[in-house]
Amino acid sequence: MALKSTIFKASVSIADMDRPYYGEHAFTLARHPSETDERMMVRLLAFIMFADERLEFGRGLSSEDEPALWQKDYSGTIERWIEVGLPDERTLRKAAGRATEVVLLVYGGRAAEIWWGKEGSTLSRLANLRVFAIDTAQSTALAALAERGMQLQCSIQDGQIWLTTSDGTQTVLIEPRRLLETG
């Protein structure tokens, strides 16, 4: 018997002073049986960082042809392809050929550092790629916010992302570190 995805409901209020972008979003997130809370929350963080009315979650781990998130224009052209984790270089190359912009959020501590040391120079050749690293302590704190019913307030200013639970009992600071920006 195959394991089923776990369903999470998230309500996120975003105030991004850097772009500026302000919005209320409600999501139903399906966490694949092989996905951790940390990865699911990094996917949510990716949405928060690049929030747009046309940004949507892909089918994720169950589909190799779709990213974690993507944004298409009204004609169906992929404007932004967002991956999380430590994807294969071929996946990013393929995405760079299909999308105007490719964004990658890496996390995972030492494994991410090793991966970046191995793949960084090759990936720097892609003309439309941006790569951000999320510190292990920050991604772990982000994962601790995961609940089946989440209500989060998010403020973004000067590259700092503050996430607070609706009851105000937990606040997490995320400071994505830019590893690469081509194009």
The CATH number assigned to the domain holding 159 equals 3.10.640.10
Cβ contact 11:46 at 8 Å: no
SS3 call for 40? helix
Cβ contact 142:174 at 8 Å: yes
- Round to whole Å and give the CA distance between 83 and 12: 20
Q: Output the pLDDT for position 32.
A: 87
Domain containing 91: what range? 7-181
Specify if 88 maps to a domain: yes
Q: Output the pLDDT for position 59.
A: 78
- pLDDT mean over 41-60: 94
On the 0-12 / 13-18 / 19+ scale of CB atoms within 10 A, 32 is middle
Would you call the peptide bond into 20 cis, given omega within 30 degrees of 0 as the criterion?
Answer: yes
Q: Output the pLDDT for position 2.
A: 63
pLDDT band at 5 (very low <50, low <70, confident <90, very high): confident
Say if strands 69-72 and 78-84 run parallel, antiparallel, or are unpaired: antiparallel
Specify if 1 maps to a domain: no
SS3 call for 159? coil
- Round to whole Å and give the CA distance between 32 and 4: 7
Q: Output the pLDDT for position 63.
A: 60
SS3 call for 82? strand
The mean predicted confidence, pLDDT, of the chain is 94
- Round to whole Å and give the CA distance between 140 and 41: 9
Specify if 20 maps to a domain: yes
173: part of which helix (H) or strand (E)? strand 171-174
122-141: pLDDT as tens digits: 999 999 999 999 999 999 99
- Round to whole Å and give the CA distance between 52 and 1: 38
Number of domains forming the structure of the chain:
1
